[in-house]
Chains A and B, each alone.
Chain A
Amino acid sequence: MIEYQEATKRYGAGTPALDRLTLEVPAGETCVLVGPSGGGKTTALKMVNRLVEPTSGRVLIDGRDVAAGDPVELRRGIGYVIQQVGLFPHLDVAANVATVPRLLGWDRRRIDSRVDELLDLVGLDPAIYRRRRPDELSGGQRQRVGVARALAADPPILLMDEPFGAVDPVTRGRLQEEFLRLQGQLRRTVVLVTHDIDEALRLGDHLAVLAAGGRLEQYGTPAEVLARPATPFVADFVGAGRTLRRLDLLSAADALATGAGPATEGPAVDPGATLAEVMGALLTSDAPAVRVAADGSVMGWVTLDSIRAALRVEDAAQGAEERP
């Protein structure tokens, strides 16, 4: 678990880069720091591995102040993926991935097998890519190597600073998907920085929305941030499409109406389908309802009314959570 306690960074006299940030990132979760530039996202991220030292306040990992120990030791236990990847251009892929294991003094055989394992994990065939140099890779491949390098010594914590910033939108989407798959498998404690709200909503278990001056505007799950933006800034940042985005986060099962179905046979969807997909099915058919079916047996229906109800239920639940 990572805890920020009143973490503040000031450069000179002006507005702080990060202003009394207090939040907890539970172990095994992804926390996305999101906001416009000047919000102190990267500053907050770098406080975890002490590339930035707080002016006041502190950062704890599993209850221990990161400032207590040796920064070099600390960093070897934290995976780090930086903006523009930062691969070492004079080293091949294998040597790049092996960076931290070598610093830790692993023997060669162990490093070799670890490198192969990691390249497999990020979807690069070791036989092909081991000996390649960074300048022989595409942007997306470089990002994968960057992630493999960060995971090399199996760190429980991963810091990712705009990890998918330097690639085209298609590759970006694919890398995000892979990140979700990997994180589902590995369950690291991840702090990820992005300025892209869509990326934040997609990847984060929790979002910390930071505004200029390093102020935390809201900390919550994607559903909470979408349903109840805490401030006008957050509402504005999340944007006008937020209701539609919420439909991505709910499934057909959340809006299931049971009992007597409507007369017309509508198209059928899986209970795991998102409400956005259900909406799509509703809009493109003439039927007033979509059947939800699993293994061939109909579980119920989703109608516009049941979707409205689902959103309202969620609003109420989150309202209750926010005001205990």
Chain B
Amino acid sequence: MDNRPQLWSETTTHARLVALALLLAVPPAVALGVAAARRPRLAGLAVGTAGVIFTIPSLALFALLVGPLGLGTAPAVAALALYSVLPVLRNTVVGLQEVPRDAVEAARGMGMTEAQALWRVRLPLALPVVVGGVRVAAVTAVGMASVAALVAAGGLGDSIFAGLRGGDETEVLAATTVIAALALAVDGTLALVERGLRRGSAASPGPPGGGRR
């Protein structure tokens, strides 16, 4: 039996679950990280809470979310998003705290508002670390999304669980290989982005002087 078309459609579903979860998780996690970077108490509370969520077994979290959200894509995306908060939040806080103090002081001293200092200096300098967090979150989510099959959200978990039930090891192996490949691809891509940012590709945008606001 040629199950390639099915594997392909499961892969796209799988990838879509991960992408949706990241889209949902990254903006609030970064925003929370920005808010927490200069408030040690809030940082402790937020990272602590996200850490607790991170330790809930994936099967349990998916199942718990079926109650309020029903079966299907919703509980799967919600669970993956919740898991994604911790790495992104933590790296945002750390990234912002590691921004050289003299750069921040220069920004203030030259008359940037807090918002300008954040957008023009602090966030660009923290960005490689933030992307590092997104990378960890994405790789984790690719793996965990296999469990989504159990809440009827589809993805490569479908093949794994079908194979397990039917004793078809090839099917399990094929799906697992695709998941691993997907994780490596996501990891590699984001690693490149991160490296590019570290080298400082956030140069002055546009032509010389780059006066874009």
A:113-159 near B, CB below 8 Å? 115, 130-131, 133, 135, 149-150, 159
Contact residues in A for B102 (Cβ distance below 8 Å): 82-86
Find chain B residues with CB under 8 A from A95 CB: 203-204, 209-210
Task: Identify the stretch in A20-28, A103-111, A186-194 within 8 Å (CB) of chain B at 4 or more residues.
Answer: A103-111
Select B111's contact among A75, A85, A86, A159, beta carbons within 8 Å: A75
Among B110, B112, B200, B204, the most chain A Cβ lie within 10 Å of the Cβ of B110
When the two chains form their complex, are residues A102 and B213 in contact, meaning their CB atoms are under 8 A apart?
yes
In the assembled complex, A197 has its CB within 8 A of some CB on chain B: no
Q: How far is the CA of A83 from the CA of B105 in the complex (A)?
A: 10
Given the known interface contacts A82-B105, A85-B102, A92-B203, the answer about A108 and B110 at a Cβ–Cβ threshold of 8 Å is no
Assess the B110–A112 pair: CB atoms within 8 A.
no
Q: For B209, list chain A residues within 8 Å (CB).
A: 94-95, 98, 108, 111-112, 115
Q: Measured between alpha carbons, how far is A60 from B197 in the docked complex, in Å? A: 43
B156 CB-CB contact with A under 8 Å? no
A84 to B109, CA, bound (A): 14
Cβ contact within 8 Å between A112 and B112: no
Q: Which of A66-94 contact B (CB under 8 A)?
A: 72-77, 80, 82-92, 94
Whether A133 lies near B203 (C-beta < 8 A) is yes
Please name all residues of chain B whose beta carbon is closer than 8 Å to the beta carbon of A107 when the two chains form the complex.
Answer: 211
Question: Are B200 and A89 neighbours in the complex by a CB distance under 8 Å?
Answer: yes
On chain B, the residues within 8 Å of A105 by CB distance are 213
Question: For A108, what are the chain B residues with a Cβ–Cβ distance below 8 Å?
Answer: 209, 211
- Is there an interface contact between B208 and A130, defined as CB atoms closer than 8 Å? yes
Collect the chain B residues with CB atoms within 8 Å of residue A83's CB: 102
Is B124 close to A, CB under 8 A?
yes
Residues on A with C-beta less than 8 A from B110 are: 75-76, 80, 99-100, 103, 149-150
Indicate if the CB atoms of B108 and A75 lie closer than 8 Å. yes
Query: What 1/0 mask marks residues of chain B from 119 to 149 whose CB sits below 8 Å from any chain A CB?
Result: 0110011000000000000000000000000
A190–B169 CA distance with the chains assembled, in angstroms: 78
The answer for the CA separation of A49 and B106 in the assembled complex, in Å, is: 12
Report the minimal beta-carbon distance from B71 to chain A, rounded to whole angstroms. 46
Q: Residue A249 at the B interface, CB < 8 A?
A: no
Contacts of B113 in A (CB 8 A): 72
In the assembled complex, A51 has its CB within 8 A of some CB on chain B: yes
Instruction: Indicate whether A89 sits within 8 Å of B204 (C-beta atoms), given known contacts A51-B105, A80-B110, A82-B105.
Output: no
C-alpha gap A88/B117 in the complex (Å): 11
Q: Is B100 an interface residue (CB 8 A)?
A: yes
Give how many B residues have a beta carbon under 8 Å from the other chain's beta carbons: 26
**Interfacial chain B residues near A74, Cβ < 8 Å:** 111
B203 nearest CB neighbor, chain A only: A92
Cα distance, A83 to B204, chains bound together (Å):
24
Please measure, in the bound complex, the distance between the C-alpha atom of A49 and the C-alpha atom of B213, giving whole angstroms: 25
Residues of B within 8 A of A135 (CB): 200
CB <8 Å contact, A133 and B200: yes
Distance between Cα atoms of A149 and B200 in the complex (Å): 20
Residue numbers in A under 8 Å from B200 (CB-CB): 89-90, 133, 135
Chain B 95-108, CB within 8 Å of chain A: the 1/0 string?
Answer: 00000101101111
Query: Which residues of A have CB within 8 Å of B111?
Result: 72-77, 100, 103
Question: A84–B106 Cα gap in the complex (Å)?
Answer: 10
Most buried by B among A82, A133, A159: A82
**Residue B202, interface by CB 8 Å:** yes
Residues on A with beta carbons closer than 8 Å to the beta carbon of B203? 90-92, 95, 131, 133
CA distance A149 to B103 in the complex (A): 13
CB <8 Å contact, A112 and B108: no
- State how many angstroms separate the Cβ of B205 from the closest Cβ of chain A: 9
The answer to the question of B116 belonging to the interface, with a C-beta cut-off of 8 Å to chain A, is yes
Chain A residues whose CB sits within 8 angstroms of the CB of B109 once the complex forms: 46, 49, 51, 75, 80, 82, 159
The docked-state distance in angstroms from the alpha carbon of A89 to that of B102 is 11
Closest chain A residue to B127 by CB distance? A90
Q: A: which residues have CB within 8 A of B? A: 46, 49, 51, 72-77, 80, 82-92, 94-95, 98-100, 102-103, 105-108, 111-112, 115, 130-131, 133, 135, 149-150, 159
| Chain B residues packing against A (C-beta within 8 Å) | 100, 102-103, 105-113, 116, 120-121, 124-125, 200, 202-204, 208-211, 213
Return the 7 tightest CB-CB contacts between A and B, nearest first. Answer: A95-B204, A86-B106, A76-B111, A75-B111, A86-B102, A108-B211, A80-B109
With A72-B113, A85-B102, A95-B210 given, name 15 new contacts (CB 8 A).
Answer: A46-B109, A51-B108, A80-B106, A80-B110, A82-B102, A82-B105, A86-B102, A86-B103, A88-B120, A88-B125, A89-B125, A92-B203, A95-B204, A100-B111, A131-B203
A-B contact pairs, 18 of them (CB 8 A): A51-B108, A72-B112, A72-B113, A73-B111, A74-B111, A76-B111, A80-B109, A83-B102, A87-B103, A88-B103, A90-B203, A94-B209, A98-B204, A100-B111, A111-B211, A131-B208, A135-B200, A150-B110
